[in-house]
Amino acid sequence: MAYYGTEAILTTDAGVSLSTITHDGNTSLQTVEGNTGAGLVHLHATSVAATTGYMLIDLSDAVNWPHTLTGHIDVRSMIINVAPTTTFAGSVEIGFLTNVDDTNGDFNIVYCAHFIAGSLPLAQTLSLNALADMTTDQWFGPTTANDTTWQTDVDLTGPDGAVAYPSGDGDLVMKITRTASQTDVSVTILYTTQA
């Protein structure tokens, strides 16, 4: 993006310099969004050779995932990398859970990538201008109802590699569905939580 006009330097009372650009009497100040209180999580799954569910953010676990509020998750950005073998076929889906019990749960799919044999690796960055609010009040999209991958009494693998995290309402999860061969998947998420 190009800016045209006269550049000026302003100094605040604290002695901090702010660079401004003016044009026709209008002044634009550069603003930077702060991520105070945001958490960052990274999960890397290697050689996934079966349909598998992963815990990305456990909303009820504020000890292992940095957050304080436990109402719902707001996703700010995601970086997704998928490195399939030449014969891998399947899909990678990311979404949040509702109606989870000891039998199944509803999987609200926010992101999905399908792969056929011979697909090239995928590297994608999703930066959201507005927060993606992971609540059913804000959701109108595909949902897999009664998915047995998600259960309150079955532990999932988390970002630390431990298989120790049961599914629950509001959790952000990833499902790798494999129909042939295997793949590596990594995902990095910047997020906040709300009451």
Looking at residue 24, what is its pLDDT?
Answer: 57
Q: What is the pLDDT of residues 113-133, one digit of tens each?
A: 999 999 999 999 988 765 566
Looking at residue 8, what is its pLDDT?
Answer: 40
6 vs 77 pLDDT, higher one: 77
Domains along the chain with CATH numbers: 1-32 (no CATH), 39-194 (2.60.120)
Looking at residue 128, what is its pLDDT?
Answer: 72
Dist. CA 139–CA 158, nearest whole Å: 25
Q: What's the angle, vertex CA 149, arms to CA 68 and CA 126, rounded to 5?
A: 55
Over residues 86-102, mean pLDDT: 96
Q: What is the pLDDT of residues 17-67, one digit of tens each?
A: 444 455 555 555 554 444 457 889 999 999 999 999 999 999 999 999 988
Looking at residue 129, what is its pLDDT?
Answer: 61
**Averaged confidence pLDDT in the chain:** 84
Over residues 128-148, mean pLDDT: 78
